[in-house]
Amino acid sequence: MLSRWLTYQQERFSLVKTGLLVAVFSFAAIGYSFMLQGGTAERSVSQFLGLGFVAFINVALFFLQLQVVDDLKDFKEDAIYRPHYPLPRGAISLEELKVFLIASGLVQLGLALSVGWPLVAMLGVIWGYITLLVKDFFIFQGITNRPLVYLFCQAAIVPLVAFYTSLLAWMRTGSGSGQLGGFLAVSFFVGVVIQLRQKIRSPKEEKSETRPDSALWGTKKAVLIWLSVIWLMAIAALMAAAQIQFMIPIALTLLFLLTASVLTAWRFLVRPVPKWANGLTLISELWIFLVYFHLGIVPILF
């Protein structure tokens, strides 16, 4: 069974590929919460490392749960259009995925109970939202016919998890701050960028897809929306940096990222080949890593 789980994890939510981004997100949420409290003392650094590890476990489980429930939801469709996925081809069973959901949920519930009831309540909120996503908010045709609205709904899970992680930090340290708006906005736009990148395909990649995700978007439209969201993320990052008096490092980082984003998007539009589509993926991941790293890790450790 372990080998089957490893196969599923490697193909559907590879910790080797995504683990670094999950880690930087988790530690950044803890670190940013500490910075809002004005704490950079040695005690804060030691707590930061410990709570960051706990946050990483929770966040990794949240996103893996989201992948699992999405695969369960799309099982019949994947069996037709994506039979190479682990679940349709029998590499793992429906029952095994359900066992994981129960086991991982118990782990999260135990961790939340050890911290306090407010964290348990927020855990319930996130599970409830994941349920709504799986059920397409109980208005399947209404929401799926509006792809941008549906994308925003999917992206909203990221700020919810960010708030959960910040709440973990506040409850462990005994103090908190309500000035999370900028950080939550960054997290929302991170979620949008992740979703948008899945809609951008080169013509060659679209032909290889039985049912391409980009069919409802069009390459140019998807890239322009991606660029717009990148700029909005930059504004949100500046707002978040202002809350912790860390504007200059963030501004320099954003200048580099914005320049790289515009150049890569332009190259892809001029020559829409897989190489430059992969470049957009790399830039998206750089945004996630560098923005979170500078907002919540650099101020604490350096």
Residue 142's CATH number = 1.10.357.140
Binned at pLDDT 50, 70 and 90, residue 101 comes out as very high
Q: What is the pLDDT of residue 212?
A: 47
Q: CB within 8 A of 145, min separation 6: which ones?
A: none
Question: What pLDDT, in 10s, does the model give residues 263-296?
Answer: 999 999 888 887 878 899 899 999 999 999 999 9
- Cα gap 140→142, rounded to integer Å: 6
Nearest to 186 by CA among 153, 217, 163: 163
Q: Domain boundary residue among 111, 142, 176?
A: 176
pLDDT, greater one: 252 or 221: 252
Q: Check whether residue 82 and residue 228 sit in a common domain.
A: no
Nearest to 67 by CA among 170, 171, 198, 184: 198
Q: Check whether residue 211 and residue 151 sit in a common domain.
A: no
Question: What pLDDT, in 10s, does the model give residues 184-238?
Answer: 999 999 999 988 877 776 655 555 554 445 555 677 888 888 999 999 999 999 9
Q: Check whether residue 193 and residue 136 sit in a common domain.
A: no
- Cα gap 108→118, rounded to integer Å: 14
Q: Residue 243 in contact with residue 295, Cβ under 8 Å?
A: no
**Ranges 40-49, 164-173, 288-297: which has the least confidence:** 40-49
Q: Check whether residue 183 and residue 164 sit in a common domain.
A: no
Nearest to 249 by CA among 187, 298, 180, 300: 298
Binned at pLDDT 50, 70 and 90, residue 82 comes out as confident
* Domain ranges, residue 153: 1-176
pLDDT, greater one: 302 or 97: 97
Q: Check whether residue 183 and residue 160 sit in a common domain.
A: no
Average pLDDT over residues 10-15: 84
- Determine whether 31 is exposed, middle or buried from the number of CB atoms within 10 Å of its CB (0-12, 13-18, 19+): buried
Q: Check whether residue 2 and residue 108 sit in a common domain.
A: yes
Q: Check whether residue 7 and residue 103 sit in a common domain.
A: yes
- Cα gap 82→20, rounded to integer Å: 27
Q: Residue 94 in contact with residue 72, Cβ under 8 Å?
A: yes
Provide the number of structural domains found in the chain. Answer: 2
Q: Which two tokens stand for residue 87?
A: 């679940």
A 10 A CB-CB count for 197 gives 16
Q: What is the pLDDT of residue 6?
A: 81
Average pLDDT over residues 110-115: 94
Q: Check whether residue 146 and residue 280 sit in a common domain.
A: no
Q: What is the pLDDT of residue 43?
A: 52
Q: Check whether residue 124 and residue 230 sit in a common domain.
A: no
Q: Which two tokens stand for residue 81?
A: 């259009």
Q: Residue 172 in contact with residue 112, Cβ under 8 Å?
A: no
Q: What is the pLDDT of residue 237?
A: 98
Q: What is the mean pLDDT of the chain?
A: 86
Which amino acid appears at position 70 of this protein? D
pLDDT, greater one: 14 or 104: 104
Q: Domain boundary residue among 119, 150, 176?
A: 176
Q: Check whether residue 25 and residue 37 sit in a common domain.
A: yes
Percent of the chain scoring above 90 in pLDDT: 52
pLDDT, greater one: 204 or 73: 73
CA–centroid distance for 245 within its chain: 25
pLDDT of 39 higher than 50: yes
Q: What is the pLDDT of residue 210?
A: 46
Helix (H, G, I), strand (E, B) or coil at 204: helix
Q: Which two tokens stand for residue 18?
A: 């995504």
Q: What is the pLDDT of residue 137?
A: 76
Average pLDDT over residues 243-261: 95
